[in-house]
Every structure is written in C-alpha cells, then in structure tokens.
Structure 1
C-alpha cells in the first residue's frame, strides 16, 4: 500500500496526501509539537478533517511560550480532538530534572518517545510535519512510510515543501506564528536543549547544540531511523 500511494501521489500536493491518508488509514492521528512550523500541517488537516486526533507531547520542559501557543492554535483552528500527553514516570526516573544534562537520548526517550508510543498504540498510522530540507536524515523522505517494527503507517504530507513554501502558506492564510521564532528560534524543542540560532546558521543548529544529535528519537525504532518499509 505504501509504495502504491507514493507512486500515485508523486505529483500531488499536501491536501491530496491528507485526503488519501484519511481514506487509506481511517484511524490515523496527527502528532504535533506546536513548534515553529507546526501550524501549517494543523491548518491543512483541519480543513480536510477538523476532528482528526491531534497528539501533543508535553515533556514538562517546554518553553512556556509553546504551551500558550498550543492552546491558542488549537482554539484558532477549532481543532476538535486534541490530546495532551505526558510521561507517567518522570518523578521516578528524573526526579531532579537533570537527566538531559547527563544523557539527552535517555531524557528524550523518557519524556517523548515512550509516552508517544503508548499514545499511538490504538492507531494504525500517524502524521508528522517532517520535511526533506530539515536535516540530512530526511533528504529522501516520502509521503508514506511504514514502521517495520510496528507496522504503523507514517504520513509526511509536507515532505517536499521548501522553507519558502511554509512561509508563503503562513502568510497567505494569516496563521499565527510561534512567538519564539521572532526571537531567533527557527526550530523549537525543549527549553534546556534549544538555543538561539545566529544569522547564516542552519535552522536546526540550536537543537542539541554541540552534540552529535539532530533527532529527538520519536522517528526511531529500536535506536534506528525508520525508513520506508516494503510493500504492505
């Protein structure tokens, strides 16, 4: 199914990908960080299916601006089915909130990856706002993938969008911007692991700065980047 959908939609836009996803995987959820560019996919999805399940992971280390923005965007777009999830064992595994200083991968797993996998258990698929231009690990990103370990379909409607496409869409639809973008944060994650980006730097340079890490882990299974699986 994945290969057929990618071939069928090669020359189609994000809205067509969304419609195809809702038809092919009726029980699909949209996972959003409500970060710098998240409003684009949320807006597109809301226009096609306003009650699409939206999952937002509150790591309890997010910027206060992100939490406020999440509520504002959900209300502005009239999203009808937003679920906020949190890890249930932070008090035991990271009681003093310093795990990120010792082991960022373990912190991401505790606060993001594990809670998300639990939340996605009832669903056969999930949508992301990932794009090819965002990092070297995403340059061959397709609209549809399948996680070999879970069999879950992953949908990337904006995979082929450029940074200019994103900004143009935001402007044309007068979508609210994350307030931190104007303060030098073009890519926004947890507060302790996100820093400002200087002019000329890669937009994701502020994520886990000076570390050999550019993904939080939610797009990995068993420590490996999830690639497109075989025909299903």
Structure 2
C-alpha cells in the first residue's frame, strides 16, 4: 500500500535549517495552539519539503487527525518493518481512509540487506539494535533524504528518555517538528473523545506502545508507557529518534 519512494526523493537535500531557525520557531509558536501552529506552518510553506512520519501506534491518530485538519495533502510516511502486527497494518488503512490523507508512502527494508544480515528473520532475538537499524532506521533514512523537515509524534510524557522535547529541533540539517511534544496523556485522551477517533485494536488488550510484534509486550499497571518495548533488553528507542553520529547518514 502507498506510493513507492521515487528516485528523485533519494537526492539528499540537506542542509536546509540551522539551530537558529529552530530557536526562532520555538519562540514564535510558544503557547500557540497545536492546530493553529500546523495550519500556519503549512500555509506559509515554512517547513519546505516535509512529511509526517507515523508508526500508526496507539496515539498516532491524534497527530494524523491534526495534520489532516491542517493540510490533508501532507505526505505520510510509514515504515513497514515486515514484523508489524496485522492489527497495525489494518489500523493504518483505517486512519488514512477516515482522515482523507491523500499522500501516503510505505517504506520497507531492502531485500538484499535482509538477505545479507537477517536471512532467517530472527535478528530481533539476539541483536535488537541491529534489527531496528536494517528494518526501520535505514528505510527512514532513505525517506528523509528528500526532505527539508519531518514531523514526529514524540511526546515528553512517554518515558524518562523523552523529557524536555521542544516543538522544533535540528537533526543533521533537517528541521524536526514535534507538535505533541508537550501534550499529556490526558490531552490525548480528551482529543480522542472529542473527535471520536478510532483506537488501535490492541490498546484494549494492554498494549500502550506498539512496535514490531516480536519486541512488543503488554504493559502492566504502574509501568512506564513504553515498558513493553524490547522488554528484557537495555533498549528504549528503535533508533529513529536517537541523534546520529557524523557520517552515519548514507550519501545518495
């Protein structure tokens, strides 16, 4: 499902933004309603070539609905690791159709990379970092190569590793936008209720944060909302939100 990434998209357009740009945007939109901010950003073409990256997890509907209200033609990028829950793929289709998002692209890991580095599909069981890198981080790098900026669904309350998230950041010359960075769980729940947004089908079963099927488990009462991700490993992020070291991004 979704459009393939065109060859043109693989031309790396960095750098477009610097730290001063992010600081200026944080100042300009301090205290501004999230939807009003998004409408202004899109109407004034302040983000350049941009896209919203979504995992179609338990909270994804809020950001996608806001983006659709601001500009339904905004590209939506989804990375299918080929290890996703079937319920997540169905939820993706439900939200895209319900919100009228017209430009959606699905990325997958490269077949030759999987053949060379995860031929039996079990890398997740002994090297979750390596599995995430080839199945999620690398495909997203390809997608971001054609972007000046990208829109993330990160929220500070989700875990101790996601504190103090600014609305605008710089990541290797790209502007990274976190419209929901300061939203609380209560804010998300209120938005779901106000607009009657569909919930991820696994949420009612105790999955508060959903990634790939082999590395996602139910979250117990009182646990961190992301405690079910990579349970038993010293790992809290897939890698797409971890600052990359110089030289890590491939040349296109």
TM-score past 0.5 threshold: yes
- Pair 1:109 & 2:133 matched: yes
Which residue of 1 is the match for residue 170 of structure 2?
146
- Pair 1:48 & 2:75 matched: no
Unaligned runs of 5+ in 1: 225-232
For 1:3-152, list aligned pairs within 5 A: 3-22=23-42, 23-88=45-110, 89-147=113-171, 150-152=172-174
- The Cα shift of 1:78 comes to 1.1
Tell me if structure 1 keeps the 8 A contact 2:159–2:224. no
**Alignment length (residue pairs):** 222
Equivalent-residue separation in structure 1 for 2:148 and 2:187 (angstroms):
29
TM-score (norm 2): 0.85
Cα deviation digits, residues 47-76 of structure 1 (max 9, x gap)? 111010100000000101001111111111
Which residue of 1 is the match for residue 16 of structure 2?
none
Tell me if structure 1 keeps the 8 A contact 2:85–2:212. yes
Tell me if structure 1 keeps the 8 A contact 2:53–2:76. yes
- Pair 1:177 & 2:177 matched: no
| Helix, strand or coil at the partner of 1:28 | coil
Tell me if structure 2 keeps the 8 A contact 1:21–1:155. no
TM-score (norm 1): 0.92
Unaligned runs of 5+ in 2: 1-20, 247-252
